[in-house]
Amino acid sequence: MLSIEQIIFLTFFLLSIGFPVAHCIHCLPLYKKRSERVFHKDAKEKGISIIVPCYNEEGIINTSIKSMTDIKYSKAEVIYINDGSTDLTIDRLHKELLLRPVQKPTNHKLDFKKVFQLYQSSRYPNILVADKINGGKADALNAGIDFASHDIVITLDADTILTDDALHIINRTFENEKVVAAGGMAHVLQTKNNGESKLSLLKTNLLVRAQALDFLKSFYIKKLSLSRFNGLSIISGVFGIFRRDVLIEVGGYRSTIGEDIDITLNIQQYLLDKKDKKVVFLPDAVCYTELPETFRDLFKQRVRWQKAFVDCFFYYKSFLGLRFFKNPVAFFYLFEGFLGGTLGVYIMTGLFIEGLFSGISLFEFFLVFIAYIFIYGYIYNWIAVEMGEYYGYDFQEEDTKALLTTIIFDIYIFRFIIIFSILYGSISYFFNRKNWNKVARTGREYLSEEDKTAA
């Protein structure tokens, strides 16, 4: 006869393995939708506005500018929003872009802090810079949306660069009027090689390698599967694509700890009774973004992500509790994210501690759990790597040893860092929910060999 503790353990254990196994199966090419993969083909180019909010980005802004000026898409508009930076961000923008003041009326569709001056680049007329009072990332994004000239809006972090085909793939995808928002694939900037489709682990530290694998799992397995279930609850702030009219219709970005998950849930709530509209993931629209290189910065980032999850859990409780068995977004958010994720971490940790001090017979169960972590962890990572290769992004042959080491590190150390960040982030939300915990940039410029030679 099983004890109540053993029953609880088994319940949350099954929750913790059921969803990942489902995603591992559902992400496979066997289940891909006919319209899912979009390649660069000739099509009439739609206007696209790229919004890049900046706050104290002097270390990375040159890399961003180089990426934006390399874009080969005739109808791309780039808008940098300098959100009251206290460093040399605006000076670097002036120097690299040769800015001159211009007048452009806003649409006054969204609220945001005062803009001191709007500039246009003398070198690249399609690039604008808005210099404004600090109001936070959501406020900066709202300003960018209001200044945007085009119907499709891309939001990028300042440390994010796009691949050559990304805008063309977005252009083709948004020919489908049913698509109102999309998320692109994000790879780790520190692993980027000169050849765009090759990733390298050798020039990064073990922590960055683990995050590179984590991104492969998060995007190529989980997001791809959720997109097929029509259950995406987050479009990463690193690389999001939206129809501008929908952003305005939902009131733009809310000032919160996690603007990306918030805007996605807001749009999904807006689409609840619009069955012909959808939010999708685009595995072939690729960007690279810089990730934390220290344990301190990683922990700060993951704590912020967890705070954002908890914040949206309470803010959208009515939407999430409405028809959750018929609403894939609510179903996965509640059962996978909250029950299997946040609450499950607390329950499993509590049972483990109780078992240590009270002698409850959970030893055999925890042995099974540890064995599962190893076997499942290896298989999950292997599928993620194979999925990356399927979509054209694989590691170099000399990375084999580093890849194996990283998988071991991921299973036995990195996973528990994430668990601790969930525990800490969930509690700290109730005491310090406003702290942004901005992650420090490396200050490194990412240039190709051609750029280095030219420099």
CATH number at residue 132: 3.90.550.10
pLDDT band at 438 (very low <50, low <70, confident <90, very high): low
Residue 346, pLDDT > 60, answer yes
Residue 452: predicted pLDDT: 47
Residue 311, pLDDT > 80, answer yes
pLDDT band at 228 (very low <50, low <70, confident <90, very high): very high
Q: Are residues 360 and 284 in the same domain?
A: no
Residue 432: predicted pLDDT: 81
SS (H, E, C) 219-276: HHHHHHHHHHCCCCCCCCCCEEEEEHHHHHHCCCCCCCCCHHHHHHHHHHHHCCCCCC
Residue 453, pLDDT > 50, answer no
Higher pLDDT, 404 or 197: 404
Report yes or no on 318 lying in a domain.
Answer: no
Q: Are residues 143 and 94 in the same domain?
A: yes
Q: Which of 100-104, 265-269, 270-274, 275-279 reaches the highest mean pLDDT?
A: 265-269
Q: Are residues 277 and 423 in the same domain?
A: no
DSSP-derived letter for residue 44 is P
Residue whose tokens read 């949306």: 145
The first and second tokens of residue 43, run together, are 């099509």
Number of domains in the chain: 2
Higher pLDDT, 200 or 359: 200
Contacts of residue 29, defined as CB under 8 A and 6 or more positions apart, other chains included, come to: 390
Report yes or no on 62 lying in a domain.
Answer: yes
User: Is the distance from CB of 188 to CB of 289 less than 8 angstroms?
Assistant: yes
pLDDT band at 450 (very low <50, low <70, confident <90, very high): very low
Report yes or no on 36 lying in a domain.
Answer: no
Residue 454, pLDDT > 80, answer no
| Rounded average pLDDT over 286-301 | 95
Report yes or no on 30 lying in a domain.
Answer: no
Q: Are residues 153 and 17 in the same domain?
A: no
| Rounded average pLDDT over 406-412 | 92
Q: Are residues 140 and 288 in the same domain?
A: yes
Q: Are residues 292 and 418 in the same domain?
A: no
Report yes or no on 354 lying in a domain.
Answer: yes
Q: Are residues 234 and 131 in the same domain?
A: yes
Q: Are residues 226 and 103 in the same domain?
A: yes
244-251 contacts, C-beta under 8 A, 24 or more apart: 244/49, 244/145, 244/148, 244/150, 244/151, 244/152, 244/153, 245/151, 246/180, 246/181, 246/270, 247/145, 247/153, 248/109, 248/110, 248/145, 251/110
Residue 35: predicted pLDDT: 60
| Rounded average pLDDT over 48-68 | 95
Residue 286, pLDDT > 90, answer yes
| Rounded average pLDDT over 397-422 | 91
The first and second tokens of residue 332, run together, are 């996965």
Question: Residue 298's domain spans which residues?
Answer: 46-304
Report yes or no on 98 lying in a domain.
Answer: yes
Q: Are residues 193 and 105 in the same domain?
A: yes
Residue 349: predicted pLDDT: 79
pLDDT band at 44 (very low <50, low <70, confident <90, very high): confident
What is the torsional sign of CA 53, 290, 438, 429? Answer: positive
Residue 374, pLDDT > 90, answer no
Residue 25: predicted pLDDT: 92
Residue 371: predicted pLDDT: 76
Residue 182, pLDDT > 80, answer yes
User: In percent, how much of the chain has pLDDT > 90?
Assistant: 67
Residue 449, pLDDT > 60, answer no
pLDDT band at 362 (very low <50, low <70, confident <90, very high): low
Residue 408, pLDDT > 50, answer yes
Q: What is the pLDDT of residues 85-122, one digit of tens each?
A: 999 999 999 999 999 999 987 778 899 999 999 999 99
Residue 441: predicted pLDDT: 64
Q: Are residues 185 and 296 in the same domain?
A: yes
Q: Which of 116-130, 390-404, 416-430 has the lowest mean pLDDT?
A: 390-404
Report yes or no on 451 lying in a domain.
Answer: no
Report yes or no on 82 lying in a domain.
Answer: yes
Q: Are residues 296 and 341 in the same domain?
A: no
Average pLDDT, the chain: 88
User: Model's pTM, two decimal places?
Assistant: 0.91
Q: Are residues 269 and 382 in the same domain?
A: no
